[in-house]
Structure 1
Amino acid sequence: MKNQRIFPGIILIGFGAYFLLQQTGISLFQAFFTWPTLLIIVGIAFLGQGYSAREYEAILPGVIMSGFGLHFHLSGHLPFWPTNTIGMLILIISIGFFLRFQKTNNGLFQAFLFLILAVLLLFYDRIAGYFGLLQNGMNFIWKFWPALLIVIGIYFLLKKKK
């Protein structure tokens, strides 16, 4: 890390505020004394390091950690927040790749791949209804799409670089 004061500074301030508020016992903040809050603090530290110190590779873990923490805080508390945890976590990863791509011009393929997977997982019922997947014999293909992902992943691992 080029500028090593940002990440630890945010971590120390964030954790210090977390534990100080926890010790005060203010009931307003009781819902935030959980592990997702700690994820958000560490994620914000990575984002601070990524953007302030121009270490753009830190953007992806920052978005993932703060996004996961935010998702676990909001899930079940807001009526409009999606309850499909796997789909949301993959969407957050996709957002992280898009934000990192914005600064590094690297990872656009992964961003779209995760976005497509997230949309499929989040809107499976609607997609199946639109295309009639369950009625026209596509159920077999839909049932085995995880195996297709594994095969494509093995292809990328074994593909020779040109």
Structure 2
Amino acid sequence: MKKKSLFSSIILIGFGLYFYLDHLPFAWLRELYHWPTLFMIIGLAFLAQGYLAKDHEAILPGTILFGFGLHFHVVQKYDIWPDHIGIFLLIIGLGFLLRYQKTGAGLLQGFLFLVLSTLLLFYDNIIEWLGLLELNALSTLNLWPLLFILIGLYLFIARKK
């Protein structure tokens, strides 16, 4: 059975609305005429393909593109929104978890991305909470990226067996 493709139709409708609304004299729409809106339109097209056409593999790129576009809009408007690499990892983790909900694949990756994003977003608070603000402890904490490299190498080697 051929899967119904909604991606092209959503892209054409979204881009058509984007460029049509650009010609209207509404000043409050001006803040939407930037490249993050195009990311959001493409992300919505992927999400529609993933959920409505039941092409569940499209959920991950849809979540990532829509989330990145939303992030770039919100970070310019609200000072409370963090402009940090952890937000991108959080969006990717949510994408994996949403895909896992429909396909049953990607739970480990989603969980790892969420843990990593939490560690990065709240790094200063975690270090302060653990009481590791001493100079000696901080010098050993600079080696934590090696832990990620070792785990990645282990997963890479374990995959080949």
Aligned: 1:105 with 2:90:
no
Match of 1:89 in 2: 88
**CA shift digits 1:77-113 (9 cap, x unpaired):** 12432232x0101000011111111111111100110
Deviation at 1:3, TM superposition (A): 1.2
Note closer, same or farther for the CA distance 1:76–1:155 as it changes in structure 2 (3 Å cut). same
CA distance in 1 between counterparts of 2:70 and 2:121 reads 17
Aligned partners of 1:50 and 1:56 also within 8 Å: yes
Match of 1:3 in 2: 4
Note closer, same or farther for the CA distance 1:160–1:121 as it changes in structure 2 (3 Å cut). closer
- CA RMSD, aligned part only? 1.6
Match of 1:58 in 2: 58
CA distance in 1 between counterparts of 2:25 and 2:155 reads 52
Match of 1:157 in 2: 156
Match of 1:140 in 2: 139
Deviation at 1:160, TM superposition (A): 4.5
**CA shift digits 1:124-155 (9 cap, x unpaired):** 11101100122274323321212221222122
Aligned length: 160
Match of 2:123 in 1: 124
Q: 3-state SS of the aligned residue for 2:59?
A: helix
Match of 1:27 in 2: 27
Note closer, same or farther for the CA distance 1:57–1:134 as it changes in structure 2 (3 Å cut). same
TM-score by length of 2: 0.92
**Residue type of the alignment partner of 1:3:** K
**Residue type of the alignment partner of 1:63:** T
Aligned-residue sequence identity (percent) comes to 50
CA distance in 2 between counterparts of 1:137 and 1:102 reads 43
CA distance in 2 between counterparts of 1:31 and 1:102 reads 34
Structure 2 unaligned blocks of 5 or more: none
Structure 1 unaligned blocks of 5 or more: none
